[in-house]
């Protein structure tokens, strides 16, 4: 399958900085590129490099109504979004989103024709307790139970060990391979057409470690945080993904 490298700008950017960044992004043969940007910049990204897909960083579980401050999946679709991140660890930790809410958001995204990038991952305490696979399985089960096994085949999964996000630390190749392989098996055992599901790694991917990470079996791309804010770094990561296709 074609690898996906998606940048998550988080709460960063300005009109000028965004334009400079986009000027440095070019399509890479054999890799799908996307950027998930703050809501206010969706309109600006209507003018983006050819081959660059657009995504948002969150979506409401509700279709419409009296939900001040929320943004629906249909609104994102109108702005040309293909992807939307749901269940990012920062949403779970800072805004109290639980597994069921994440499942409902994934369902809302699918209903509007968007591809949800469902984030899963364990904290350092959970890993040290030997519960990493249990936690990831629980998070995935909540999504599958809401959207159903058949629809689950249309989801992108991003494994983000929480302890490796924005810390400069990265999981070893063995740790990444263990969890990605377990996710693939979990999908298969749950009746999901797992072979076509892209599983991204999202724990501090940088140009220096991208090639090693993308060479790990069952790693189908990356969800890139800080490195996606520098065009040179983002493109280096994309080229690393292409090199191991």
Active-site residue, from 61, 88, 122, 126: 88
Active-site residue, from 90, 97, 160, 180: 160
Q: How many other C-beta atoms can be found within 10 angstroms of the C-beta atom of residue 112?
A: 17
Backbone angles phi, psi at 60, to 5 degrees: -75, 150
Greatest C-alpha distance within the chain: 48
Backbone angles phi, psi at 219, to 5 degrees: -100, 110
Distance CA 143, CA 112 (A): 16
Q: How many CA atoms lie within 13 A of 219 on its CB side?
A: 31
Distance CA 24, CA 235 (A): 8
Catalytic (active site) residue 88: yes
Catalytic residues: 88, 160
């Amino acid at each position: 399958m074609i690898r996906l490298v998606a940048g998550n700008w988080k709460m960063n950017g300005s009109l000028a900085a965004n334009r400079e960044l986009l000027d440095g992004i070019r399509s890479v043969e054999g890799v799908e590129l996307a950027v998930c940007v703050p809501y206010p910049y969706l309109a600006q990204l209507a003018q983006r490099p050819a081959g660059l897909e657009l995504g948002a960083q969150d979506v409401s579980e509700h279709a419409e109504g009296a939900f001040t401050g929320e943004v629906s999946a249909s609104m994102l679709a109108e702005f040309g979004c293909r992807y939307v991140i749901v269940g990012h660890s920062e949403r779970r930790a800072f805004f109290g989103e639980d597994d069921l809410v994440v499942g409902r958001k994934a369902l809302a995204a699918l209903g509007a024709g968007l591809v949800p990038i469902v984030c899963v991952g364990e904290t350092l305490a959970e890993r040290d307790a030997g519960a990493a696979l249990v936690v990831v399985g629980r998070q995935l089960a909540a999504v599958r139970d809401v959207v159903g096994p058949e629809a689950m085949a249309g989801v992108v999964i991003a494994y983000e060990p929480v302890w490796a996000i924005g810390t400069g630390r990265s999981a070893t190749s063995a740790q990444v391979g263990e969890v990605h392989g377990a996710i693939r098996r979990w999908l298969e055992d749950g009746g999901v057409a797992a072979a076509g599901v892209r599983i991204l790694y999202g724990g501090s991917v940088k140009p220096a470690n991208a090639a090693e990470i993308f060479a790990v079996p069952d790693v189908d791309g990356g969800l890139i945080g800080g490195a996606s804010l520098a065009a040179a770094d983002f493109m280096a990561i994309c080229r690393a993904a292409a090199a191991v296709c």
